[in-house]
Amino acid sequence: MSVTVVVGAQWGDEGKGKITDFLAADVAVVARAQGGSNAGHTVVFDGQEYKLHLLPSGILRSDVLAIAGAGMVIDPEQLLHELEQLPVERGELLLDERAHVVMPYHKLLDAAEEKAKGSGAAGTTGRGIGPAYGDRATRFGIRVGDLLEPETLRERLARVVPRTQALLAHYGVTERLDEQALFTLASGWGSALVDSIGNASLEIAGRLNQGVLLEGAQGVHIDIDHGIYPFVTSSSPTPAGMAQGAGVAPQRLSRTVGVVKGYTTRVGTGPFPTELQDSTGDYLRQQGNEFGTTTGRPRRCGWLDLVMLEHSQRLCGFSELAFTKLDVMGGLDKIRVCTAYESPQGHLEHFPASMTLLAECTPVYQDFPGWPALSGLEWLAVAESGDLPPSLSTYIAFVCKQLGVPAGLLSLGPERETTLRLR
């Protein structure tokens, strides 16, 4: 066996947590490789709902090694809180010693910088992710392994605290940073996590023949390089970014699962061509419980956008698609799919880099008949039998044909059992 990658093909919130949890039955390792507690993955297991922000979704399986890779920025306080919420029988956890730490001052800086950007703010979660990645890039960061080396930790704090204090003062933040208190706090994190810190890349390499799954956070369209800049995250949620962040050679990636919600959602600000600001958008939001796992903010909802997905497919090379929230769409008389944009520059079939141009795009739609609203037990029966409503089959077939990628999984409800495996 080799490495499977689960990628969010849209703006995040596609249901990657459920798909990861389902596929984790076939592997020995599930690893997060990028992002931090700005992620929000929901998994339903034995009737209990678990909301995970840092921990890989595979940790709910006792025979899985759950890894937080070097490409992540880890908030130890949040991590310890999540561990306390888990059942006794869970997978083992390994934190890569090269991953960076989100410190309390990163959250202060995050809030201050967002406020300073005004209307250009990205709408971040306020979890300190961007500033932590910023410290990593400018070599002011603190790594997880540093938590176990007191002298190294003191040296890192002595360099970063005065700089950060000056940055906070620039933004009008008067709160003073206490270097000794930060040292005591971080040292305590190291003591609490010492048995879970190690070399993730090495552990993955030793388990490749047992199956490894890389769990993406966020989505392709908020990738730092290829997303809707500046309304993006601070890492790369593509297969290439995840291979780098996990410490896996790219040629080891053998299966790339693109997770596609049956409609489109996003949080925060920025252009959204297919956004529905009407009763249909409200219906999707309520039926799909479209409120952020991390922030609780209501998600903006719209129709599926193939222009977006073509961009994602080109960047990621999906070998199959996993469709989610198809049950949520039941009961709508008409389903629309955006196949192109009309813009001041003419007819567009490829996603533009310019946010000014994207804001001026009007979607071109193809319409499909809806499928019935079924109960949870009825969707479970569909998942077990594979007997899909004909209009749903037509919808899935059209999207797959347009993207040139087969469907591998259909999620018809929040539970593991309401998943139809097609491949």
DSSP three-state, residue 278:
coil
Tokens of 42: 């929901």
| Confidence (pTM) | 0.93
Could you tell me which residues come within 8 angstroms of residue 104 by beta carbon, excluding any fewer than 6 positions away? 128, 182, 185
In angstroms, rounded to a whole number, what is the distance separating the alpha carbons of residues 337 and 319?
22
17 alpha carbon, distance to own chain's centre? 8
Residue 349, C-beta contacts closer than 8 angstroms, at least 6 positions apart: 307, 310, 339, 340, 341
Q: Which domains, ranges and CATH numbers included, belong to the chain?
A: 3-96+197-256 (3.40.440.10), 100-193 (1.10.300.10), 259-421 (3.90.170.10)
Structure tokens at 73: 């920025």
CB-based contact 341:302 (threshold 8 Å): no
End-to-end CA distance of the chain: 16
106 catalytic residue (yes or no): no
- Closest Cα to residue 418, out of 312, 330, 298? 330
Q: Is the Cβ–Cβ distance between 71 and 279 less than 8 Å?
A: no
Sequential pLDDT tens for the chain (423 residues): 689 999 999 999 999 989 998 999 999 999 999 999 987 777 777 778 888 899 998 898 899 999 999 999 999 999 999 999 888 889 999 999 999 999 999 999 999 998 887 766 666 778 999 999 999 999 999 999 999 999 999 999 999 999 999 999 999 999 999 999 999 999 999 999 999 999 999 999 999 999 999 999 999 999 999 999 998 999 999 999 999 999 999 999 999 999 999 999 998 788 999 999 999 999 999 999 998 766 778 999 999 999 999 999 999 999 999 999 999 999 999 999 999 999 999 999 999 999 999 999 999 999 999 999 999 999 999 999 999 999 999 999 999 999 999 999 999 999 999 999 998
Q: Quick one: DSSP state of residue 372?
A: -
Q: Which helix (H) or strand (E) holds 288?
A: none
- Quick count: other Cβ atoms within 10 Å of Cβ 356? 9
Kindly name the residue from 41, 100, 226, 311 that is annotated as catalytic. 41
> What pLDDT is recorded for position 293?
67
Instruction: List the catalytic residue out of 13, 96, 110, 135.
Output: 13
Specify whether 350 is catalytic.
Answer: no
Contact 189, 233 (CB under 8 A): no
